[in-house]
């Protein structure tokens, strides 16, 4: 197993994400025998970083993970969980939630603790002076119940920078979605470079995009196999992340023993991707998600009578065309009413000044139609808040 230094703590380069444990029914019905087999395999293979959260498996993940890890000496594993401020639960009590998480996991402290998904759609909760989420988490850190504090985020780079500048010195790492597709599609490169510039280690979630990058077409796989005959599509995705020097831990939501065994092999020794191989991954990424040729000149914004942030919307639109995801709906819902894709009046003023000749009204109309088919973040969190979190 490869290991990295995370602010003085020796962490395995591969981490177990307990969001996609095998189930025997609904999301909250973890198949405990199969899940335990996976964790035992990972522990034997040297994985020491285990990540869970309040909402995973309808609240069952924390309790299960804590119980299984307790079978091993405490110094052999590192546990991470997250404060669910992003869910905007009515009358949210950060201190009570944290204490409940310690109890569920059966621990006195978390090695790593994160504010969950600091983004455009949750930033108001994390900045709310009445909720005092960060203040109360910092109190728990001061009391010794948190060893290292960070946050996870699907935010755009601008919000990421603003939040870190607002609270300098509070966080020692940041977890972001990063893979060779989102390197450009979700501006992961800009986020990675920002965090590296600020001296903050990066933890990676969704390295294979929820499994989508492990299921490439036969044509795409033929190109990859010609370069590295023994590598699976998933290994290519992991190797892309692995070669980034500021990545401390790459999380994988392993749901089968076979996935765990393959990942252990991938993280047993490093492999450097050549410039030609990186270019090949960029080519495959471009074929998976077609981005309109917007250069961000913002001429369109000056002419838009509705005041739409068109370049930002076009960026998110590319993600929406690839897959339905809350990373699409969250930033759109965070935009002011009247300035969303459905508010485009198709006047054409934007297209007339676009140097790239993009049919912006058509893109906005299609984007609005796609959004209607996607569950809103408000609907997702409302459903979660109705579930028991025992």
Read off the pLDDT of residues 58-93 as tens digits, 9 standing for 90 and up: 899 999 999 999 999 999 999 999 999 988 777 899
Q: What's the mean per-residue pLDDT of the chain?
A: 92
Q: What is the percent of the chain with per-residue pLDDT over 90, rounded to a whole number?
A: 77
Give the mean model confidence (pLDDT) for residues 44-55. Answer: 97
Residue 385, pLDDT > 80, answer no
Place of tokens 């990942």: 263
Q: Which of 194-198, 294-298, 367-371 has the lowest average pLDDT?
A: 294-298
Q: What pLDDT does residue 89 have?
A: 75
pLDDT exceeds cutoff 70 at 252: yes
Q: pLDDT tens digits, residue range 2-11?
A: 999 999 999 9
Contact 160, 152 (CB under 8 A): no
Chain mean position to CA 35 = 22
200: which residues sit within 8 A by CB, 6+ positions away? Answer: 150, 164, 171, 172, 173, 174
pLDDT of residue 99: 97
Q: What is the pLDDT of residues 265-303, one digit of tens each?
A: 999 999 999 999 999 999 999 888 777 778 788 889 988
Q: Is residue 197 a contact partner of residue 246, using CB atoms and an 8 Å limit?
A: no
Q: Which of 118, 58, 109, 54 is nearest to 79 (CA)?
A: 109
Confidence check: pLDDT of 111 > 80: yes
Indicate the SS3 state at residue 376: coil
Q: What percent helix, strand, coil does the chain show, rounded to 5?
A: 50, 15, 40
Using the structure block, give the residue that is written with the tokens 């962490």.
Answer: 11
- 2: closest CA among 280, 276, 272? 272
d(CA 262, CA 365): 43
Q: How many residues does the chain have?
A: 390
Of the two residues 108 and 319, the one the predictor is more confident about is 108
β-strand pairing of 3-6 with 9-12: antiparallel
Q: Where are the beta strands (DSSP E) in the chain?
A: 3-6, 9-12, 14-17, 49-51, 78-83, 110-115, 146-153, 173-177, 202-205, 247-252
- The encoded tokens of residue 126 equal 């994390």
């Amino acid at each position: 197993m490869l290991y990295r230094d995370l602010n003085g703590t020796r962490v395995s380069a591969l981490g177990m994400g307990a969001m996609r444990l095998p189930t025997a029914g609904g999301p909250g019905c973890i198949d405990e025998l199969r899940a335990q087999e996976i964790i035992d395999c990972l522990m034997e293979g040297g994985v020491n970083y285990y990540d869970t959260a309040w909402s995973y498996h309808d609240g069952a993940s924390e309790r299960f993970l804590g119980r299984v890890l307790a079978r091993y000496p405490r110094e052999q594993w590192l546990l991470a969980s997250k404060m669910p401020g992003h869910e905007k639960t009515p009358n949210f009590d950060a201190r009570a939630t944290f204490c409940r998480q310690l109890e569920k996991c059966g621990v006195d402290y978390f090695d790593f603790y994160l504010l969950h998904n600091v983004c455009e759609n949750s930033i108001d909760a994390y900045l709310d002076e009445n909720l005092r989420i960060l203040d109360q988490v910092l109190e728990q850190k001061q009391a010794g119940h948190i060893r290292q504090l960070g946050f996870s985020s699907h935010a755009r780079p601008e919000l990421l920078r603003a939040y870190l500048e607002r609270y300098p010195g509070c966080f020692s790492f940041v977890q972001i979605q990063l893979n060779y597709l989102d390197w450009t599609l979700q501006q992961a490169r800009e986020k990675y470079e920002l965090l590296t510039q600020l001296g903050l280690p990066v933890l990676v979630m969704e390295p294979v995009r929820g499994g989508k990058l492990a299921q490439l077409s036969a044509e795409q796989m033929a190109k990859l196999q010609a370069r590295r005959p023994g590598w699976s599509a998933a290994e290519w995705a992991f190797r892309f992340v692995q070669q980034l020097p500021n990545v401390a831990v790459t999380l994988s939501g392993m749901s089968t023993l076979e996935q765990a065994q393959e990942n252990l092999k991938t993280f047993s020794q490093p492999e450097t991707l050549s410039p030609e191989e990186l270019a090949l991954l960029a080519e495959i990424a471009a074929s998976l998600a077609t981005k309109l040729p917007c250069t961000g000149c913002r001429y369109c914004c000056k002419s838009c009578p509705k005041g739409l942030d068109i370049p930002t919307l076009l960026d998110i639109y590319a993600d929406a065309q690839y897959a339905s995801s809350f990373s699409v709906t969250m930033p759109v819902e965070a935009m002011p009413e009247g300035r969303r894709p459905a508010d485009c009046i198709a006047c054409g003023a934007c297209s007339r000044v676009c140097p790239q000749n993009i049919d912006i009204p058509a893109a906005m109309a299609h984007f609005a139609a796609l959004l209607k088919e996607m569950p809103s973040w408000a609907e997702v969190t409302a459903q979660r808040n109705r579930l028991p979190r025992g």
